[in-house]
Amino acid sequence: MTTLALNRLWSYIDSLPLSSEDRNWLAGNLNDSAVESYENDAKPYSLEEIENMIHTAEKKFMSGDFYTTEDVLRYCAEER
Structural domain of 53: 47-79
Q: Supply the pLDDT for residue 80.
A: 80
Average pLDDT by consecutive 10-residue portion of the chain (80 residues)?
A: 91 94 93 84 90 96 92 91
Residue 3 inside a domain? The answer is no
For the chain, what is the HEC assignment?
CCHHHHHHHHHHHHHCCCCHHHHHHHHHHHHHHHHHHHHHCCCCCCHHHHHHHHHHHHHHHHCCCCCCHHHHHHHHHHHC
Per-residue pLDDT at 41? 78
Does some domain include residue 53?
yes
Number of domains in the chain: 1
